[in-house]
Amino acid sequence: MANCIRCGRQLPGFSFGRKVCQWCVQHEAYQRGEIADDAPQPIIRQPWTRRRESVISLTQIFFGICIVVFLGMAPDTLTISGFPGEHAARWGANFGPYTLSGEWWRLLTYMFMHANLMHIAFNMWCLWDLGGLCESLYGRWTYAAIYLMTGVGAGLGSIVWNEYTLTVGASGAVFGLAGALLAAFKLGEFSIPREALSGTMRSLMIFVGFNLVFGFTMSGIDNAAHIGGLITGLILGALIALFAPRQEHAPRRVAIFAATALALTGVAMALTHHYDIPLRLGRASTLPENNPGDQVAQYKKLVRLNPKFVPGHIALAKAYLQQGQVAPAEKELQRALELDPKSTEARLHLGLLYLNSDRPQDAQKTFQDELALNANNADAHFGLGLALAAQHNDQAAVEEYKTAIHLDPQATDIQYNLGLAYERSGNYDDAIAAFLKEQQLGDSADLENALAKAYDAKGQPQQAEAARAKAAQLKSPAP
């Protein structure tokens, strides 16, 4: 980018051969007596000189809204250390299945919500500094438009990366402010030497770089929102610096924001079209489980819209099972396997359905079919063991349980069922060993009663009595 031959200032983009900046042109015209003494200089004012437009700045208003919302959320959960996801969703968090199914207002509300005390403290610190600088540079209404639009861009960026991520926080909009300031300092024309801006610009770049690296290395940080806000801010800041740098360019700024809003709307519509069926599934899955009838209705509607959508058939089968409707659930799982014969999820659920319906032979065949496709599936080996045990073939069940434990040593209930198989076979030492290993993964009254029975059969009454006492303690409700 060229510099002014008079003062050395960097000329704005698209100067098309200009060699003298507007400031120097006006200054020379003033020296020739061609303009009045009080004519305004065509330059952007110093970004750290705050205009006294009102007693309360817009940054303070945004700050206050975030604090009020955070305190408003706290009484519902009696904590300010962190809010559950479903609680944040009720308050307006950005969540793909909700946002892209018509609740567009979430792209605005989420940026005034925060997950915990540390989250809001850091974001408000950044907002106070960057917001004040941005507001003094652009003025109130331009600053407000940049903040809200970059927040929307951040929310859409989060959905692009992972449509099922629940997002809250002002950090996406804060990154948008940083992007707008970086573009302004790089492309804008100021009444001071560019060297005076270099320190502020360097600090902004360090802030952006550090937080992006931190976001990639730490879990629970939505870096996609940060990047979405940063890109939106860079674009807005560049467009304003190049085409509407002065306050009197309000019509141009309106046009820039209108075009940006149109572009963001296009992105939102494209995401809605791309994620249509999966998002409907995600939306239905968030319905209360204590009302499975609503889930059945939603999943049936989803399957009618796309009869070949395998996850929809599986979800409908689960909803039917919650209502105790075994026959339609079996039909949906079988349909899912017709559409996708390699669907592990459908086959495992069908095997469990057969087990719970006292059809161990059907369950055995189903799990064997899965193992023919995936011999290292621990759940399939466990299910096959349960099916064999239900047919009184404990010796074969033991081998399946051992294989499942080898494949997934931390899986619960397998050692317990292995112990039951040993116990039925009269192998009490191995039964006790299996029960004790299951105890390390998680204890229960049934496990302690089974252990007591094995101790009795082994002729160890003291250990049996201790196990029964522990079972009674586990069974009794907590005070």
Residues annotated as catalytic are 171, 226
* Helix, coil or strand: residue 339: helix
- Residue 392 per-residue DSSP state: T
Residues forming beta bridges with residue 94, ordered by sequence position = 167
Task: Tell me how crowded residue 284 is: count the other CB atoms within 10 A of its CB.
Answer: 22
Residues forming beta bridges with residue 44, ordered by sequence position = 190
CA distance 224 to 272: 18
- Residue 477 per-residue DSSP state: P
H or E stretch including 166?
strand 166-167
The end-to-end CA distance of the chain, in Å, is 74
Q: What are phi and psi of 44, to 5 degrees?
A: -80, 135
Closest of 174, 197, 261 to residue 46, by C-alpha: 197
CB environment 145-166: b (16+ within 10 A), e (fewer): bbbbbbbbbbbbbbbbeebeeb
Task: Tell me how crowded residue 41 is: count the other CB atoms within 10 A of its CB.
Answer: 13
Tokens read off for 244:
């509407």
Tokens read off for 456:
């009795």
CA distance 232 to 7: 32
* Helix, coil or strand: residue 37: coil
CA distance 234 to 242: 12
CB environment 179-213: b (16+ within 10 A), e (fewer): bbbbbbbbbbbbeeebeebeeeeeebeebbeebbe
Say which amino acid occupies 317: A
Angle, helices 310-322 vs 276-285, to 10°: value is 10
CA distance 93 to 114: 9
- Residue 116 per-residue DSSP state: S
